[in-house]
C-alpha cells in the first residue's frame, strides 16, 4: 500500500563524533546562482504572514535572502522590493532627487516613503544644485513653499566618481556631514554615499549584497500571463530573483511559466517550486529553473497537508530531491 518509509527531521538524530572544528570556523556560505551568493543558507517563505520588506531587510543583513510574497498588487510588491534595494548601498548609483521647484510637501513625502533624512536637489539637466535635509525643514510651517527656498546650496561638499568608501568616510568626518554626493566634471550628480551605509557595512559584515553593494531580495510570482507581468515589474524594481511560487510546483502552469520567464529573461535567476519528488525537480530544471524549492506543508504554520492530504515528510523529500538535482 505504501511506496516506502519516509522521515521528517524530528524522526532522526545525528550521532555525535570526534571533531576539531569550532562553530566560529564553519563557513555556511552558498552560491545559489552566479549572481547570488548567500552567507547563510536561509531563504524566507514567500507567505503574506512572513515576508515583506522588513523581514527581507533583516534577513539580507544577516546573509540570507527574503522572498517577498505575491498577495499584494504588482505595484505594492514592487515597492517592497524597491525599499530593500534602496535601504543601503556601497554607493547609491541612482539616488532619489527632487527639483528646486518641488514643494516641501513633496520632499516630506519622499523622505517618509524611502525612510531617508535628505534628498539631493538637481536641475533639469541633472546638475547638483543643493541638498535638502530634515534639519533644513525642521521649523518650516508652509509646506507649499518650494524646496529652493530651504535647501543648502552654498559650499556643497562633493567628491568625484570613483571615490572609495574609506575616502568617503574621511570626507564625511572632516566636514561633519552625513551625505556625500558624487559628481562628474560638469557637476552632474552620479551617485551618493551616506554615513549610515558605511556604518551598516561595519555592523553587518556578512550581509548578502549584489555587485553594487545593495541588499539582495527576491519576489514571488504566480503563473500565466499575470505571473509574467509581475515578473517584469519586479525585475524592473530591482529584484535579484523571481520565484514562481505555488503549493504544487510539479504542475503544467508552473512549468510553462518558468519556461516563459526563462525565454523572456535568459540569464535572470529563477526560483520555482514547491516540489517533493525527483520527477518534480527534473521537470522544473528542464523548464529553466535555477533554484528549486523543496517541501509541501513542512512549515509550522502551513496548512497544505492538512487541507489537501498531500505532501511528503521533509527529510525524505530533501534527500530525494537533492540526489535528483546532483544528477542533472
CATH 3.40.50.300 fits 104-202, yes or no: no
Residue 223 scores a pLDDT above 80 = yes
What distance separates the 2 farthest-apart alpha carbons in the chain? 81
Indicate the average pLDDT of the chain: 93
Question: Per-residue pLDDT for 308 more than 90?
Answer: no
DSSP run (H or E) holding 67: strand 67-68
DSSP state of 44: -
Q: Name the residue with higher pLDDT: 141 or 2.
A: 141
Instruction: Answer with the residue of higher pLDDT: 88 or 234.
Output: 234
As a whole number, mean pLDDT of residues 185-191 equals 94
- pLDDT score for 305: 75
Please tell me the distance from the alpha carbon of residue 204 to that of residue 118, in angstroms, as a whole number: 23
Distances (CA, A) of 73 to 79, 87, 227: 10, 21, 12
In the CATH scheme, what is the homologous superfamily, with its name and number, of domain 9-88+215-326? Aldolase class I (3.20.20.70)
pLDDT band at residue 204, thresholds of 50, 70 and 90? very high
| Mean pLDDT (whole number) for 290-318 | 86
Distance CA 255, CA 292 (A): 12
The alpha carbon of 30 is separated from its chain's Cα centroid by a whole number of angstroms, namely 17
pLDDT at 297 over 60: yes
pTM across the whole model = 0.82
Q: Is the pLDDT of residue 3 over 80?
A: no
3 state SS of 273: strand
| The three cell numbers locating residue 289 | 529553473
Report the pLDDT value the prediction gives residue 265, as an integer from 0 to 100. Answer: 98
**pLDDT at residue 70, as a whole number:** 98
pLDDT higher for 298 or 6? Answer: 6
Confidence of residue 2 (pLDDT cuts 50, 70, 90): low
Cα separation of 181 and 41, whole Å? Answer: 35
- Ranking 127-131, 215-219, 225-229, 311-315 by mean pLDDT, the lowest is 311-315
Domain ranges of the chain: 9-88+215-326, 104-202
Q: Would you state the pLDDT for residue 4? A: 80
Tell me what the mean pLDDT of segment 297-318 comes to. Answer: 82
1 has a pLDDT exceeding 60: no
pLDDT at 58: 96
232 vs 230: CA distance, rounded Å: 5
H or E segment and range at residue 201: helix 195-203
Between 189 and 93, where is the model more confident? 189
Task: Read off the pLDDT of residues 14-29 as tens digits, 9 standing for 90 and up.
Answer: 999 999 999 989 999 9
What gap in Å lies between CA 31 and CA 39, rounded to an integer?
Answer: 9
Amino acid at each position: 500500500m505504501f511506496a516506502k518509509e519516509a522521515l521528517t527531521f524530528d524522526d532522526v538524530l545525528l550521532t555525535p563524533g570526534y571533531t576539531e572544528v569550532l562553530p566560529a570556523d564553519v563557513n555556511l556560505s552558498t552560491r545559489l546562482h552566479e549572481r547570488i551568493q548567500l552567507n547563510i543558507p536561509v531563504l524566507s517563505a514567500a507567505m503574506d504572514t512572513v515576508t515583506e520588506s522588513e523581514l527581507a531587510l533583516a534577513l539580507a543583513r544577516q546573509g540570507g535572502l527574503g522572498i517577498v510574497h505575491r498577495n499584494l498588487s504588482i505595484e505594492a510588491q514592487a515597492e517592497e522590493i524597491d525599499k530593500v534595494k534602496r535601504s543601503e548601498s556601497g554607493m547609491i548609483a541612482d539616488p532619489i532627487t527632487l527639483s528646486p521647484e518641488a514643494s516641501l510637501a513633496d520632499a516630506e513625502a519622499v523622505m517618509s516613503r524611502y525612510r531617508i533624512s535628505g534628498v539631493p536637489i538637481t536641475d533639469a539637466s541633472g546638475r547638483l544644485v543643493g541638498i535638502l535635509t530634515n534639519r533644513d525643514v525642521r521649523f518650516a510651517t508652509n509646506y507649499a513653499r518650494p524646496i529652493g527656498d530651504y535647501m543648502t546650496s552654498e559650499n556643497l561638499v562633493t567628491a568625484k566618481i570613483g571615490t572609495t568608501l574609506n575616502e568617503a568616510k574621511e570626507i564625511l568626518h572632516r566636514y561633519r556631514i552625513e551625505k556625500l554626493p558624487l559628481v562628474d566634471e560638469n557637476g552632474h550628480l552620479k551617485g551618493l554615499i551616506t554615513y549610515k551605509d558605511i556604518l551598516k557595512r561595519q555592523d553587518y559584515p556578512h550581509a548578502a549584497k549584489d555587485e553594487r553593494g545593495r541588499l539582495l531580495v527576491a519576489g514571488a510570482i504566480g503563473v500565466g500571463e499575470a505571473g509574467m507581468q509581475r515578473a517584469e515589474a519586479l525585475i524592473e524594481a530591482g529584484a535579484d530573483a523571481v520565484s514562481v511560487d505555488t503549493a504544487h510546483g510539479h504542475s503544467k502552469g508552473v512549468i510553462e511559466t518558468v519556461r516563459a520567464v526563462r525565454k523572456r529573461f535568459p540569464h535572470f535567476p529563477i526560483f520555482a517550486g514547491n516540489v517533493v519528488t525527483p520527477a518534480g525537480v527534473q521537470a522544473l530544471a528542464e523548464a529553466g529553473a535555477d533554484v528549486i524549492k523543496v517541501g509541501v506543508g513542512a512549515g509550522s504554520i502551513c496548512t497544505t497537508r492538512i487541507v489537501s492530504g498531500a505532501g511528503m515528510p521533509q527529510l525524505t523529500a530533501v534527500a530525494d530531491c537533492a540526489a535528483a538535482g546532483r544528477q542533472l
